[in-house]
Amino acid sequence: MSLTLAACSQQPAQPLSAAQQRAAVHLTAGALHAQSTGSIVVTPSTASNPANATTLANTLVGAGVTVSNATLTGAPAASGTFTGGTAAFLFDKGVILSSGSAASVVGPNNLNAPTQASPLVGASDSYNTAGDSDLLALAKTSAQLAGAPDPGASYDASVLQFDFVPTKDLVYFSYVFASEEYLEWVKTEYNDAFGFYINGVNCAMVPGFTGSPPAPVPVTVNTINTTKNPALFRNNTVSGPLTNETQADGLTTVLTCSAKVNPGVVNHAKLAIADMGDNALNSWVMIQAGSFSTTNPNGPVLTLPADQTVEATGPNPLSVPFTVTASDVQDGDLTPKVKCDQTTPLSVALGQTVTVKCSVADSGGLTASGQFTVKVVDTTKPTITLTTPVDGATYAPNQIVKAQYTCTDTVGIASCTGTVDSGASIDTSTLGPKTFTVTAKDTSGNEQTTTVTYKVVDSIKPTISLVTPTNGAVYSLNQVVASSYSCADETALASCVGTVPSGIPIDTATFGIKTFTVTAKDTSGNTQTTTVSYSVQYPFAGFFQPVDNLPMVNTVKAGQAIPIKFSLGGNYGLNIFAAGSPTSALVPCNQTAPVDDIEQTVTAGGSSLSYDPGSKMYNYVWKTDKAWANTCRLLTVTLNDGSVHKALFNFR
């Protein structure tokens, strides 16, 4: 016998093949037993001899059966008895047969390989003992049904055989199959097999099988698992109470073997289990003590609905359908024989609890009974639809906003109350965040509350009254002009700032177009800005004689020099003209315009500019051209302050 302890945790450099994974793992029953955390206690056989075989056979025997000539083959440690199995196997004690160590079934399940691609770990013992030809044939059949590879050979069989004499023509016994082959090796050739042969016929078959082909199907890893007959399977690869009880990665529910026998004479039983495909990973079968008898140990199974608490869908009684089924191994489907004191569907009023009692009897006189309750309750909270105010909305101070909300419930509304009634105005009287709450109660006392938050904010900008300077105003150089402006706000003004404070003179220190800006801000951060433009220019009062100002037309002989006289309020030097100024341009003559002759001309060799301190006047001598005779021209004088001054001339 080869027993080693291995649990690989490092990933190999290259993925292992299935065969390499399975060849790499063995775990001793002693190591497993020492780690036990559950209730199971296994007592292995000390030897494969008739005495131990008889002990195992007598453990199984119940009413109506006597046994003799018991034999046991295989490794002694692969068989034995157990106690404390209720939590894992759903019955307390019995006989255990294994393809490895019987004691290795003991929990916890701390050796679990979750994927075939990972290095394999698990309870695994190799005794290098013979397989079993009956089990190999059974495994081949199972592989064909599952579409799995042929297992090839069997190994390490543990076989209990005995003769028995029954008092009736049917015998029964209850068992649970468990395996470390779950779930990684489902639908593979590693399909450990077991069989209960009564007079050469295996009775360990999947109960109620209706698939294709409709022949009996043996119980194996490939025929009961998470996808095949899952109702008969318990997965032990996920954390739960079961993982503390047994090392097995998966196990069946309690199954019943039923076999026809010859009453009053000697019959033969063979109970066997073996590894298939290789001798890695253990499987076990646990047979309930005293269940090998002529009385069905499980009788009819009455399947009732769980006690139901049903949610009301309205104020009226609720129609609740129910289904009750029954079956047993001997009679199969017993549903038509089920009797209940209520009919489906039940009519259950809100708050009422109805108890339904049912019973069934099989052809052997075994009975089962039970009851369930249906209660209709209303635990659903009312529904609130709050349209206004909107969560996160902003409103202006004193804005009229009407609350709008409704409450509904499947059973009935008792009250629907908001911060104000629906249709009434919400509070917008003060600034800041506010909440609005609606509470609904139904007639069953369920309560729902919805709260939204909104803000009352000042979104109106302040107003500005800018009196001085006015937009487009013209001021003289260094003229003292006091600014005048004010700001106002509906809530609270934070600042009112102009280019200079109100009352302080504006800038007239230099010529040109200037701007004046006033910015107002309120305490809510709203900002308003007003900007005007004004000009600082010479105090030009028009042209003086002999030149008349527009709209008068000055008449003069072409070729004469005309004195263009004007005052700027002082002497600003002779660099007062803008570049290129003065200029004249030919214009149409207006026959209806008022006309005045130029009474005074001067003699000049060309145009020139001078300043007379006595009169404080500038004199620009404009030398005209004789070629201008019989035309009209517009003289344009543009000063360096940007101001433009014009006079109209008609040349004779």
Same domain, 37 and 133: yes
SS3 string of 165-188?
EECCCEEEEEEEEEECCCCCCCCC
What does the alpha-carbon distance between residue 131 and residue 53 come to, in Å, rounded to a whole number? Answer: 18
| CATH number of 312's domain | 2.60.40.10
| Model confidence pLDDT, tens digit, residues 621-639 | 999 999 999 999 999 999 9
C-alpha dihedral sign at 390, 393, 398, 399 = negative
- Do 192 and 107 lie in a common domain? yes
Domain ends where: 257, 288, 319? Answer: 288
In this model, does residue 240 exceed pLDDT 90? no
Q: Which of 327, 346, 377 is the last residue of a domain?
A: 377
Is the pLDDT assigned to residue 313 strictly greater than 70? Answer: yes
Pairwise CA distance, residues 226 & 175, whole Å = 19
Which comes out higher in pLDDT, residue 468 or 369? Answer: 468
| Encoded amino acid at 81, one letter | T
Q: What's the maximum distance between 2 C-alpha atoms anywhere in the chain?
A: 167
At 21, the pLDDT band (50, 70, 90 cuts) reads: low
pLDDT at 118 > cutoff 60:
no
pLDDT of residue 167: 96
* 529 shares its domain with 577: no
Report in angstroms the alpha-carbon separations of 259 from 45, 68, 140, 176, 295.
27, 19, 22, 17, 12
In this model, does residue 6 exceed pLDDT 80? no
23-27, 417-421, 461-465, 608-612: which has the minimum mean pLDDT? 23-27
Considering the domain architecture, whether residues 213 and 165 belong to the same structural domain is answered as yes
Residues 6+ apart with CB under 8 A from 411: 312, 314, 315, 350, 378, 380, 442, 443, 444
566 domain-assigned:
yes
The 10s digit of each residue's pLDDT in 541-558 is: 899 999 999 999 999 999
Number of domains, the chain: 5
- Confidence (pLDDT) at 319: 93
Looking at 180-266, which runs of residues are DSSP E strands?
Answer: 193-198, 201-202, 233-235, 250-252, 255-260
Paired tokens of 209: 């099988």
Domain stop point among 288, 322, 344: 288
Let me know: does 330 contact 296? Beta carbons within 8 Å.
yes
pLDDT band (50, 70, 90) for residue 25: low
Q: Given this model, what pLDDT does residue 104 score? A: 93
pLDDT at 15 > cutoff 60: no
Give DSSP secondary structure letters for 296-322. Answer: -SS--EEE-PPPEEEE-SSSSPEEE--
Residue 296 lies in a domain: no
Say if 11 falls within a structural domain.
Answer: no
Is the residue at 293 inside a domain? no
Residues 581, 494 share a domain = no
Do 67 and 88 share a domain, yes or no? yes
Q: Do 42 and 164 fall within a single domain?
A: yes
Please give the average per-residue pLDDT across 81-102, as a whole number: 94
Same domain, 110 and 28: yes
Question: What's the confidence (pLDDT) of residue 296?
Answer: 72
What is the average pLDDT score of the chain?
Answer: 88
Judgement on whether residues 312 and 266 belong to the same structural domain of the protein:
no
The confidence score (pLDDT) of residue 237 equals: 85
Which CATH number do you get for residue 581? 2.60.40
The yes-or-no verdict on residue 29 having pLDDT over 60 is: no
- pLDDT of 256 reads 84
Cβ pair 496, 486 in contact under 8 A? yes
Rounded Cα distance, 196 and 475, in Å: 122
Q: How confident is the model at residue 244 (pLDDT cuts 50, 70, 90)?
A: confident
Residue 528's pLDDT is 96
**Neighbouring C-beta atoms of residue 573, cutoff 10 Å:** 6
* Polymer length of the chain: 652
pLDDT band with cut points at 50, 70 and 90 for residue 148: confident
Grade residue 214 by pLDDT with cuts at 50, 70 and 90.
Answer: low
Q: Does the pLDDT at position 177 exceed 80? A: yes
Q: What is the mean predicted confidence (pLDDT) over 298-321?
A: 90
Q: Is residue 9 part of a domain?
A: no
Closest CA to 455 of 535, 509, 525, 385: 525
CB 481 within 8 A of CB 458: no
Is the model more confident about 330 or about 176? 176
For 578-595, the pLDDT digits (tens) are 999 999 999 999 878 777
Confidence of residue 605 (pLDDT cuts 50, 70, 90): low
**Domain residue limits at 368:** 301-377
Is 205 part of any domain?
yes
pLDDT, residue 27, reads 45
Same domain, 56 and 167: yes
Sorted by sequence, the CB contacts under 8 Å of residue 533 that are 6+ apart come out as: 471, 472, 513, 514, 515, 516
Q: What is the pLDDT of residue 19?
A: 59
The residues that bridge with 478 in the sheet, in sequence order, are none
Please indicate, yes or no, if residue 118 is contained in any of the structural domains. Answer: yes
Task: Check residues 215 and 174 and name the one with the higher pLDDT.
Answer: 174
Residues 315 and 361 both lie in one domain = yes
pLDDT at position 241 is 77
Residues 161 and 278 in one domain: yes
pLDDT class of 4 with cuts at 50, 70, 90:
very low
- pLDDT band at 13, cuts 50/70/90? very low
Cα-based torsion angle of the residue sequence 31, 33, 37, 43 in order, rounded to the nearest 10 degrees: 180
Provide the pLDDT for residue 599: 62
Mean pLDDT of 15-32: 51
Q: With 0-12 CB in 10 A as exposed, 13-18 as middle and 19+ as buried, what is 522?
A: buried
Would 1 be classed as within a structural domain? no
